[in-house]
Structure formats: structure tokens, C-alpha cells
Structure 1
């Protein structure tokens, strides 16, 4: 993966490489199986997880490499 295709953290203003995928959905507007994703660097993983978790949106947190492997399978 080149530097141009590395994921960038979803936290506002962060430009760090993301190493985590936060899978979520908003049950008011998404079907139960639908998964939206945010990506997070190590520093912002907990903050973004808490933000989604407090709203009942967070479904899973997975290492980016694991997520990418599963998506390619």
C-alpha cells in the first residue's frame, strides 16, 4: 500500500495514519446489517469509540489490517 492509499484518521483535524476501523450504524436510518466505518489512529480510537458508543451506534472495532483482509476475502 502506498502512502497515498493509507487511511487517514477520521478525527477532526487529525492527519495520522489510521490503524483501527470502527464499524457502526445508526438504527434510526440504517438497516441492522448496514455498517458504516470510521477509521482511527491509536490516539483517537478510544475517543471515537466513546462518541459512537454513547449514541448506541458502535458495532465493532477491528485492526485495519484485519478489516482489510476480511474485506478482500
Structure 2
């Protein structure tokens, strides 16, 4: 999944996406936070620029991941 605002790609393994379908919203939010932190470790250049707020960047990435997890869960529910 691409996060165009930061010019990065985030890979969420298929087995994680599948597991997340059965998670509560709180657990999905925690998972998204962990994946966002891992993404920031993978792309340290995100926080190098002067004035970059790592918490804001983490939050943006987390929200993008959480949206993707929710969309996948909704698709699974619709498919039956």
C-alpha cells in the first residue's frame, strides 16, 4: 500500500491482514500503531528533515494503515 504523502510503500503481510479481520477495533488500532512504528524504522528519512514531527508522521501512517485494515475487514464481511 502506498502512502503518497510521504512517498513510501507499506507492506502488510497477507497473514496479518487475514488475522486482523477477527480483531476488535482496539486491537486493529494497536496493530496499525506497531506497523507504523516499523515503517518509520524502515524509512528513517521521514524524520530527518528540520521541523519534522515524528509523532505526527507516525499518526498519519497509522491512520493510513488502520484505514486499509478496516477496508479489508469490510470486504471480508461483504463476501460472506
TM-score by length of 1: 0.27
**Higher strand fraction (1 or 2):** 1
Normalised by the length of structure 2, the TM-score is: 0.26
Q: Which structure has the bigger radius of gyration? A: 2
